A and B are shown apart, each in its own frame.
Chain A
Amino acid sequence: MKTKTPKRPAAAPRPSGKRWQLRLYVTGQTMRSLTALTNLKKICENHLAGEYSITVIDLLKQPQLARGDQILAVPTVVRKLPKPVRILIGNLSDTECVLVGLDLRVES
């Protein structure tokens, strides 16, 4: 998990310059978190190869970050870019739902 320990919550995920910026919020390395990350990566590779960046945020380590993106459930994927912000929860096992949730259908 490539997480950083920023001073301020707002500055947590560095903008990567990619067109698609996704954040995955998890709580520790649970089965569900790992599944979600795997699923997300797979979907992104299939549909957004080279155009995306995924920031994984472990709320157990940075609980203060949960507030900023209004996280309730984990795992949660937040599409920061492109706007508008989209929120997707679950282990992302239902690819169809993920595509709808991230609004990838139209894009691809």
Chain B
Amino acid sequence: MTNPQKNHVLRPAPRPARLPRCPTGIQGLDEITGGGLPRGRPTLVCGGAGCGKTLLAAEFLVRGAVQFDEPGVLMAFEETEPELNANVASLGFDLAGLVRRKKILVDYVHIEPGEIQESGDYDLEGLFVRINHAIDTIGAKRVVLDTLEALFSGLRNEAILRAELCRLFRWLKDKGVTAVITAERGREQLTRHGLEEYVSDCVILLDHRVNDQIATRHLRVVKYRGAMHGTNEFPFLIGETGISVLPITSLSLNHQVSTERIATGIPRLDAMLGGRGFFRGSSVLLTGTPGTGKTIISANFAHAAARRGERVLFFSFEESPNQIIRNLHSIGLRLEPLVKRGLLRFHSARPSLYGLEMHLATMFKEIAEFKPHVVIVDPITSLMDSGTDSECKGMVTRLIDYLKGGQVTTLFTSLTQGGHALQQSEAAMSSLMDSWILLQDYEGNGERNRVLYVLKARGMAHSNQIREFLISDRGIDVVDAYIGPSGVLTGSARAAQHSLEKAAVLASQQEAAQLEREVERKRAALERQISGLRADHETEAVELRRIAEQVGTRTFVLGTERAASGRLRQADIKVATGRRGHVRAEKLPA
């Protein structure tokens, strides 16, 4: 099989014997299938009525012609050319123009049920001739047969039909065209007439399901012979630019990351986040029970960003823009000048307006148009009602991936019910978030007070403490909550505790001062005592000295008298007596 479009075939891994792919150009589908449909082989697209088979096939052709320079043939068994033109024009495809430029050839195969009379043996060579002629006319590389099953209503001899269809698919393969065959979903099998028996290379199943009154389209690659493919069901939608399949798994985690930090608009909150706020391009989750101030904090963030001159897109799923503006005016945040300057844009929609995928598509579109620096989704939980948990997680993942890819900082608020399930219910979503701030009510002393924690903040040394935040007409103020032996105190209890502490401090200060004075007093008393004693001592010393002198004198006198009497008696003790008397006389005055 020749493959002139090799350069378009995605080859992510060096795998030698890989089936060549034919890229569809349909957003997301090529990612699921690892590059596109099997080149040169027929692919069966089946699904119920109105699930988008024809559109998928038409988009395959149009994109092939426009993006990959592969002309295509559309054999339409159900719709006439003008009908098809009108249908695909609503998706922005200029089918008629492509037909004029000979990029696409549309052949309407009309089969009126019951009109054809059969007599004897026949084959479908006529159809082969037509397809062949169409392919050769424009050098088609792609063929769409939409829908072959119309044959079953026109021709009664099913044995012939089946044999011919089998031959047709083989013939298409031999012809080397990449074909898409659409078929109606059957009750117990993939297609009503079992076409999947003949098309064995690739089968894609489309589905349109209604969950809680909201319809979502799904696409699943049932089979892709000889290739790895995403086997999950992927939601897809038909938007203004065609089909977009929204795969979750295809998105790789290789976003650019920024080290730039952006302030939250609340200085104390910035301080809690390592001092400088969120990372640019990060995703932030703000969860809280009703009335904890989620919208206010997010609006504050929006306000701060817009004031810095950044564009902010505010998706509101609960309140109208005017209501948000009015409410925030009451706390001193003036948003309407920012709206007028085009820095802040609101997008309000009821969550139940349409399905999750449509919401996502609308959001993508708004984001692509406005190119915001900051996106706020308030609250993401409203959207959760539009789908199942896994769908929502998928949607949030896709949204985050999309926004991160564009370095857009995103703040999601999430409404949680009270009780302990709070953190549990958010666990699925929170793992996708870079930062998670939890707002909570503290009830006690007959009042409710708001507190916030930073539960996590990837890549920054964030505060582990609980903070109380106050909302006043001057805005938001984050204050330290009282944390002491009796637990966390907020509001008036915190104030009371605060004054109690103040009083205690005062008391202890006073006590300390008193003790100080006491010490001083005692010292003074001691001093006094010491000086008294010294005075006593002085007096005593003088007296003693006087006595000593008297004693010395007396001793000398006695000595002299004794020496004199010794001399008289002829004794020899002169020296000893004289010395003792001298020593005493020397010592005493000291």
Point out residues on A near B: beta carbons under 8 Å: 25, 27, 32, 35-36, 39, 59-60, 63-64, 66-67, 70-76, 86-95, 97-98, 100-102
Contacts and interface: CB of A to CB of B under 8 A. Distances in A.
Contacts of A70: 109-111
A90 B129 contact: no
A76 to B, nearest CB: 6
Given A67-B107, A73-B155, A27 B129 contact: yes
B495 interface: no
Given A91-B120, A93-B121, A73 B126 contact: yes
B130 interface: yes
B53 to A, nearest CB: 21
Interface in B89-127: 107, 109-111, 115-127
B203 to A, nearest CB: 25
A41 B127 CA distance: 25
B119 A71 contact: no
23 contacts: A25-B126, A27-B126, A36-B120, A59-B129, A67-B107, A70-B109, A72-B126, A72-B127, A72-B154, A72-B155, A73-B124, A73-B126, A76-B126, A87-B116, A89-B118, A89-B155, A90-B118, A90-B119, A91-B119, A91-B122, A93-B120, A95-B119, A97-B118
A73 B117 contact: no
A27 B125 contact: yes
A46 B188 CA distance: 49
B200 interface: no
Interface of B: 107, 109-111, 115-130, 132-133, 151, 154-155
A97 B107 CA distance: 30
Given A72-B127, A90-B122, A97-B119, 11 more contacts: A39-B120, A60-B129, A73-B125, A73-B127, A87-B116, A88-B117, A89-B122, A91-B120, A92-B120, A97-B118, A97-B120
A67 B132 CA distance: 12
B464 to A, nearest CB: 75
Contact of B130 (A63, A90, A92, A97): A63
Nearest to B130: A66
B185 to A, nearest CB: 24
Contacts of B154: 72
A32 to B, nearest CB: 6
A25 B128 CA distance: 13
Contact of B133 (A63, A75, A76, A92): A63
Nearest to B107: A67
A64 B117 CA distance: 23
Nearest to A66: B130
B126 A66 contact: yes
Contact of A88 (B116, B123, B127): B116
Given A27-B125, A67-B107, A94-B120, A87 B133 contact: no
Contacts of A76: 122, 126
A11 to B, nearest CB: 18
Contacts of B124: 72-74
A54 to B, nearest CB: 16
Contacts of B117: 86-89, 97-98, 100-102
B254 to A, nearest CB: 50
Contacts of A97: 117-120
Contacts of B116: 73, 87-89
A71 to B, nearest CB: 4
A60 to B, nearest CB: 7
Contacts of A92: 119-120
Contacts of A71: 126-127, 129-130
Contacts of B133: 63-64, 66
A72 B119 contact: no
Contacts of A93: 119-121
A87 B151 CA distance: 15
A66 B132 CA distance: 11
A32 B122 contact: yes
A102 B116 CA distance: 10
Nearest to A59: B129
Given A70-B109, A97-B117, A101-B117, A63 B122 contact: no
A91 B110 CA distance: 21
B121 A32 contact: yes
Contacts of A87: 115-117
A10 B202 CA distance: 39
A24 B126 CA distance: 12
A58 B116 CA distance: 20
A59 B155 CA distance: 20
A71 B124 CA distance: 9
A88 B107 contact: no
A86 B453 CA distance: 81
Select the residue from A35, A64, A70, A72 with max chain B CB neighbours within 10 A.
A72
A87 B111 CA distance: 11
B126 A101 contact: no
Contacts of B110: 70
A86 to B, nearest CB: 7
Nearest to B77: A72
Contacts of A67: 107, 130
Nearest to A70: B110
A55 to B, nearest CB: 16
B115 to A, nearest CB: 6
A26 to B, nearest CB: 9
